[in-house]
Amino acid sequence: METLQDLLLREVGKMPGTKHKDQRIAVFVDVQNMYYSAMNLFKTKVNFNSILKTAVSNRKLIRAFAYVIEADVKGEKNFHDRLTQIGFEVKSKELQTFFGGAKKGDWDVGIAMDVIRMAPKVDTIVIVSGDGDFADLLKYVKSLGCRAEVISFKKTTSAKLLAEADDFIDMSSNKKKFLI
């Protein structure tokens, strides 16, 4: 049975601006969003190991997900294996090619569903993406009492997403740490 002190500590961990060692977190990385943001802004790749360590920040990691699109590119399997070694559960989808050659691959709905499933089990949700489509999702998890954090590059992050985040880490502010 949970003591009053345990309950208070858990609730304090859900307050904006508060990070502590007993906080249970789940991390959700939109790999394509981070990859293309880093390439477009800096012509380099992202250090996903550093992202995970920063997201966890001495708290209790419950689960970490990395969402990837299989594009049949050289080295793709090695990259996915490396994400697993770092500590991510890798979820993959094949790139869809439509009649006429148009291609599409995104995980927005899949990420949202996993966040909704995990929110009751954690104190903090960390979204690693700048996609504004996640703004309503953050508003929802906050209504459940979860803390909502975002890690991404500020230049490619939606203002709506930033407005909903309890905490934001701009990866551009420490390129040595977050870029390879």
The per-residue pLDDT of the chain, averaged, comes to: 89
**What tens-digit pLDDT sequence spans the chain (180 residues)?**
555 444 444 444 444 457 889 999 999 999 999 999 999 999 999 999 999 999 999 999 999 999 998 877 788 889 999 999 999 999 998 876 667 666 566 799 999 999 999 999 999 999 999 999 999 999 999 999 999 999 999 999 999 999 999 999 999 999 999 999
The pTM assigned to this predicted structure is 0.87
Q: What does the longest C-alpha to C-alpha distance in the chain come to?
A: 61
| 46-69 per-position pLDDT tens digit | 999 999 999 999 999 999 999 998
The per-residue pLDDT for range 18-37, each reduced to its tens digit, is 788 999 999 999 999 999 99
Domain map (residue ranges) of the chain: 20-178
Measure Cα distances from 122 to 53, 72, 100, 117 in Å. 17, 35, 43, 10
DSSP 179: B
In the Cβ-directed half-sphere of 128, how many Cα atoms lie within 13 Å? 31
Residue 64 in contact with residue 82, Cβ under 8 Å? no
What distance in Å separates the CA atoms of residue 121 and residue 144, rounded to the nearest whole number?
11
Q: Which superfamily is assigned to 20-178 in CATH?
A: 5'-nuclease (3.40.50.1010)
